[in-house]
Amino acid sequence: MNILVTGGSRGIGAACVKALAAEGHRVAFFYRNNKEAAERVAADSGAFAIQADVSDSEAVAKGIAEAEERIGPIDALVCNAGISQSRLFTEITDEDFRRMCATNLDGAFYAARDVARGMVRRHFGRIVFIGSMWGKSGAACEVHYSATKAALRGMTTGLAKELGPSNITVNCIEPGVIDTDMNKNLTESDLASLIDDTPLCRVGTPEDIANAVSFFLSDKASFITGQMLGVDGGFAI
């Protein structure tokens, strides 16, 4: 398959790029500005790195055109690019809120819309959104983040219904606490308490999420659509 991953330069996205390329797929990925990390992932995996800010609809359209030039028509999209921010609700500025929505929600919308057109024409496609367990259960001091991830649930189910007749599946993976840069500001005691609340008693790895992505893109998942899968060690059950 020809697969596009957004936010593939680091963390979960990088693990997805590497795993999917190792399975023999042709993979292109977007990154925002970390060229060095993106080039490392590209060199390790053989995938194509494309600079495209998902919050900019023109950049997404241009990036998808470039990805299709390099790997061919996109069969599968992994909408992974995202940002987080820890802030008291009453201190979230208009700009904080807009930035969160622009990346986590608008970005997923632009990418899914622009690849879906070709998928509908070709009567095949796989779309996976990377949500968050906080989209299901909500996180204090991350209300704007939680809201964007909850919105991906609606995008997943609505889109699954609309695109199902075109043989396109749409699913959402909701990670728990995963060991990436996104969590590097957590204190040791924050981390210990999150692990304490995780029935499987550990943080997840980016590869834990890549394994679930790989499943949703595979033939084994061809009759699964509109689903939210928690990959969170049982945190949000």
144 touches ligand NDP by CB under 6 A: no
Q: Kindly indicate which of the ranges 153-161, 173-181, 186-194, 220-228 contains the residues binding ligand NDP, using the contact rule CB under 6 A.
A: 173-181
Nearer Cβ to ligand NDP, position 82 or 125? 82
CB-side neighbour CA atoms (13 Å) of 68: 15
Q: Kindly indicate which of the ranges 17-25, 74-82, 109-117, 210-218 contains the residues binding ligand NDP, using the contact rule CB under 6 A.
A: 74-82
| Touching ligand NDP, residues 189-228 (CB under 6 A) | none
147 touches ligand NDP by CB under 6 A: no
162 touches ligand NDP by CB under 6 A: no
Task: Decide if 145 is catalytic.
Answer: yes
Can you tell me the distance from the alpha carbon of 232 to that of 190, in angstroms, rounded to the nearest whole number?
16
Can you tell me the distance from the alpha carbon of 160 to that of 18, in angstroms, rounded to the nearest whole number?
27
CA angle 74, 177, 14 (to 5 degrees): 35
The sheet with strand 125-130 has its strands ordered as 48-51, 26-31, 2-5, 76-79, 125-130, 168-175, 228-231
Out of 48, 129, 134, 145, the active site residue is 145
Q: Supply φ then ψ for residue 84, to 5 degrees.
A: -135, 165
Nearer Cβ to ligand NDP, position 51 or 166? 51
Q: Which helix (H) or strand (E) holds 79?
A: strand 76-79
11 touches ligand NDP by CB under 6 A: yes
Report which of 89, 85, 71, 86 is spatially closest to residue 20, judged by C-alpha positions.
71
Q: Kindly indicate which of the ranges 7-15, 42-50, 153-161, 164-172 contains the residues binding ligand NDP, using the contact rule CB under 6 A.
A: 7-15
12 touches ligand NDP by CB under 6 A: yes
Q: Supply φ then ψ for residue 39, to 5 degrees.
A: -65, -35
Nearer Cβ to ligand NDP, position 120 or 143? 143
Footprint of ligand NDP on this chain (CB under 6 A)? Answer: 6-13, 30-34, 37, 53-55, 80-84, 103, 107, 130, 132, 175, 177-178, 180-183
Catalytic amino acids?
A: 145
